[in-house]
Amino acid sequence: MDQLILERTDRLAAPSSWRAMLDLYRLMCRIRAFEIAAEKAAAEGHIRGMIHSAVGQEAVAAGVCGNLRREDVITSTHRNHHHALAKGVNPTAMMAELFGREIGVCKGKGGSMHIADFAVGMIGANGVVAASISIAAGAAQALRMKGSDAISVAFFGDGGMNRGQCLEAFNYVAVNRLPVLLVCEDNGWAATTRTSSVSAGPGMVSRARALGIEAESVDGNDIEAVDQRTRVLVDLVRSGSGPRLLHCLTYRLRGHTCADQATYRPKSEVETRWRDDPIERCRELLSRRGTPPHEIELIRAEEEDLIAVAVAQSLAAAWPDAGEAYLDVQTAGAAS
């Protein structure tokens, strides 16, 4: 299947700078610390319902969003914390949202699966598989109608490629040459089912190309590769050359949800994939480029402290007033 082939359809961008790699490493550490803290809070009963951890997939979010402008917009999935943090959503406001508190980014009404912050271009996560692609298509059309050169980015998983609206949205953005970057975060699993066992044909890249969308694969655990390829594709999309697809091969190191022990996966498979941890790979890259070990470790510690403060502030925050339940609710208007 073509998801196993790493292709290069354009000239590689210049190597990412040392400073850029430090910033991306910091962002990945922030995401990892957030996810681990959220898992712990859920286990302790502070978060109601399920959360979907992105431990192991940090490089995709960081590498893509690090190349976006504030006015560019992204859409996400039920597994969205890493995308939101990478786009600039405040970690305390995000954690408080998971806790259902009034200082949450959505006033405690959205929870883990419905993070949104229009101020930074995070226009929404949702639990409908592949809906992010359709929403991103609509956003891209709106940006074009406004005369903006901002672009829309749709994050979606490999399990979503078998949904009807994925095909429909692909067709729509291709026909209308909309400014959309489609990012398939391929972790190999559709919830508890190995995606390859239920997917016909050679894979995601071929499906996109069949509709006239230029597409390529990248090692989604290689932060520098994701950063470089996204930089090229974002410039192409922004220039008006139509939609592009970046197929990122990665792996979720946790179960589908915080309650899922992932016993359907061979233990040896998970252990092998831990050795491909994108954060450790970035640490090694920084070390090879001369970054002192204490500086690398300090960044990790600072981000863990930042998230610890976010948890403490969320626990101390007030619950929303009951009257808030009647606000921000869509209505068709007063009855006649």
Domains of the chain: 2-316 (3.40.50.970)
* Nearest-angstrom CA–CA distance, 210 and 205: 9
| pTM strictly above 0.75 | yes
* Nearest-angstrom CA–CA distance, 282 and 63: 12
Q: Which residue, among 228, 252, 225, 182, has the nearest Cα to 31 in the 3D structure? A: 252
| pLDDT, tens digit only, all 336 positions of the chain | 443 333 333 334 456 788 999 999 999 999 999 999 999 999 999 999 899 999 999 999 999 999 999 999 999 999 999 999 999 999 999 999 999 999 999 999 999 999 999 999 999 999 999 999 999 999 999 999 999 999 999 999 999 999 999 999 999 999 999 999 999 999 999 999 999 999 999 999 999 999 999 999 999 999 999 999 999 999 999 999 999 999 999 999 999 999 989 999 999 999 999 999 999 999 999 999 999 999 999 999 999 999 999 999 999 999 999 998 888 887 766 555
In the sheet that holds 180-186, the strands lie side by side as: 73-75, 152-157, 180-186, 244-249, 214-219
